[in-house]
Each structure stands twice: as structure tokens, then as C-alpha cells.
């Protein structure tokens, strides 16, 4: 059982609104992210499926989460996260505390990543990126490889590995995001214990804890952080604001072969490109 607190709000946060998705997730993100924005992804691969189902204990209806990963936007084209899928590079895990800088282009396919979201929890949040980068060399703040190992065992079905969330071991990507915000003085998931961080907990905070953020937003963040923290006099917490697309509310696995077949059919159905007419060569 995961210990959680219920929000006192009776209505959803209207500032986090549904948006129309497009044929390219990378283009969708590029049009919306700012440095320091929280990025949420919900994939349709086997690893994503297991991650989404594991988070069902955080939902009152016990349905799978929309989300399988969280990250912090660095630019319109890249974000920082702790990947568990094939984008994890084991060789660099010790030196960067498992934090990778990934490209949105690698998550471009709406079929492979049907659910996407961008949420801002602070104004002038570019300072969040600085905190996130500091975590790459501050393993003492949060030992992300320690979180990563039990989650790899779970998603791989190794031995008798159970759901790490039930042992108060948070999803690594969410633990990274929460710690970066905590370093900046912003509490990202007031409804769950710090050990049970997950993309679903971040999502629930954005949707249901807006009254809490409304109250806390009145105090400047700089007054709530220690003297050795990054200087961020303009950084303040805010009521979460953003957009999301949920093309696959119910978690399901889409096989890679199916992704390739659908991509081939889409290309075949696309109208042929008009041939460019150049100057005709004169015959000798």
C-alpha cells in the first residue's frame, strides 16, 4: 500500500488543458516547452506498459497511469531524464548519476509515445535546469542508480522482483525531477511521500493540487531555500499550467513490428511529392 494524501480541491486544474496532437511529438514539444518545464511521456512499449501499470496504486480507480517517464526540458529539442528503456547507456550511469540528455526527436512517434504533456510549476524556471545539471555530479543528493536497479529488475521480470513503488522506491525519472525542483524550493508532489515519486504523482499534483500551489505561490521561492543554493531571486512557484495529449488512456503494448508496418502504410498512402522541374539539357 502506498501512503497518499487526498487533495481538498473538488475541481480539476483548468490551466492544464487537453490539446490536439499532431503527427510529430518533437514538433509538439518544440512549440510548447520552456527551459525548466516538466515533460511527461506515456509510451506503448513493454517497459512503458509495466511502468504505467505499476503506478496504478497511486490512482483511486487503480487504472494504469497515462505516463511512464518524466523529465525536465532544457531546450525546444532536448530534455534531461533517467531512461529505463533502450536509451539507457550503462557506461555513463556512474559518471552522470544516470541522468541522460535526450532528444525529443527520439520520442517523435505518436504510436510509440501516444501520451505527451508539458507542465510549468514555476515562473522563471530556467534555474531548474541548473539544479538538474548539478544532480549529475551530486549523487549524495539522490542516488539515482540505486533507484534504477530495482526498476530494471521489475520491468525485465528478473527473479522475484516486485513493484518497487510498494517498497517506497520511486520511479527514477520522477525522483530526479522532484529533487531538482526541491533544490529550487518547489515541492512538486505534496500528496505522496518523497520515496514514492512517480510520473503519476507529478500528474496528480498538476491536476488536483492547484489550490495548494495557489497558497504557496505567494511566497518567493528564494526565501525558502538555503544560502548555498543557486541564486534564483526571480524564481517563484506557480499554479501548474500546461497542455497534454492522451491518445492512449488505457495502457496497451504496441509491438515494434506493428509500428514499422503502420509507418510503411502511412508512407504508401501519402500523396507522391511533386517532381522538381529543372532546366532541360540541350542535346549535343
**Cell 499534483 belongs to which residue?**
205
Give backbone dihedrals phi and psi of 128, rounded to 5 degrees, phi first: -60, -35
Cβ count near 277 (within 10 Å): 6
Q: Which 3 state secondary structure label does DSSP give 182?
A: helix
Note the pTM of the prediction, 2 decimals: 0.86
Cα R_g (the chain), whole angstroms: 20
pLDDT, one tens digit per residue, over 184-195 is 989 898 877 666
At residue 193, the pLDDT reads 67
Degrees to nearest 5, angle at CA 217 with 131 and 198: 50
The pLDDT assigned to 10 comes to: 80
Which DSSP letter does residue 79 get?
E
Q: What is the pLDDT of residue 200?
A: 96
- Return the pLDDT at 195: 67
Torsion of CA 182, 186, 191, 194, to 10 degrees: 0
Q: In degrees, to the nearest 5, what angle opens at C-alpha 103 toward C-alphas 98 and 106?
A: 100
Rounded distance, CA 155 to CA 253, Å?
13
pLDDT, one tens digit for every residue, the chain (284 residues): 566 777 777 899 999 999 999 999 999 999 999 999 999 999 999 999 999 999 998 888 899 999 999 999 999 999 999 999 999 999 999 999 999 999 999 999 999 999 999 999 998 888 999 999 999 999 999 999 999 999 999 999 999 999 999 999 999 999 999 999 999 989 898 877 666 789 999 999 999 988 888 887 655 554 344 434 444 446 888 899 999 999 999 999 998 777 666 666 666 766 665 444 555 555 54
Amino acid at each position: 500500500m502506498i501512503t497518499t494524501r487526498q487533495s481538498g480541491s473538488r475541481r480539476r486544474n483548468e490551466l492544464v488543458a487537453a490539446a490536439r496532437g499532431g503527427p510529430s511529438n518533437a514538433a509538439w514539444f518544440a512549440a510548447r516547452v520552456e527551459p525548466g518545464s516538466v515533460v511527461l511521456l506515456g509510451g506503448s512499449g513493454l517497459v512503458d506498459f509495466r511502468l504505467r501499470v505499476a503506478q496504478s496504486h497511486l490512482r483511486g480507480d487503480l487504472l494504469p497511469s497515462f505516463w511512464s517517464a518524466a523529465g525536465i526540458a532544457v531546450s525546444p529539442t532536448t530534455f534531461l531524464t533517467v531512461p529505463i528503456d533502450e536509451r539507457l547507456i550503462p557506461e555513463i550511469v556512474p559518471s552522470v548519476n544516470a541522468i541522460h540528455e535526450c532528444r525529443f526527436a527520439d520520442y517523435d512517434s505518436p504510436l510509440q509515445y501516444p501520451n505527451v504533456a508539458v507542465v510549468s510549476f514555476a515562473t522563471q524556471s530556467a534555474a531548474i535546469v541548473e539544479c538538474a545539471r548539478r544532480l549529475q555530479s551530486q549523487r549524495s543528493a539522490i542516488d539515482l542508480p540505486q533507484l534504477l536497479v530495482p526498476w530494471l529488475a521489475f520491468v525485465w521480470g528478473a527473479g522475484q522482483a516486485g513493484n518497487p513503488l510498494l517498497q517506497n522506491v520511486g520511479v527514477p525519472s520522477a525522483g530526479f525531477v522532484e529533487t531538482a525542483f526541491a533544490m529550487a524550493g518547489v515541492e512538486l508532489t505534496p500528496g505522496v511521500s518523497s520515496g514514492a515519486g512517480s510520473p503519476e504523482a507529478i500528474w496528480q499534483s498538476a491536476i488536483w493540487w492547484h489550490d495548494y500551489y495557489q497558497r504557496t505561490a505567494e511566497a518567493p521561492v528564494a526565501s525558502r531555500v538555503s544560502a548555498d543554493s543557486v541564486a534564483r531571486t526571480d524564481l517563484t512557484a506557480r499554479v501548474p499550467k500546461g497542455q497534454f495529449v492522451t491518445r492512449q488512456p488505457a495502457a496497451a503494448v504496441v509491438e515494434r513490428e506493428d509500428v514499422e508496418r503502420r509507418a510503411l502504410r502511412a508512407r504508401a498512402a501519402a500523396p507522391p511529392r511533386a517532381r522538381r522541374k529543372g532546366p532541360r539539357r540541350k542535346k549535343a
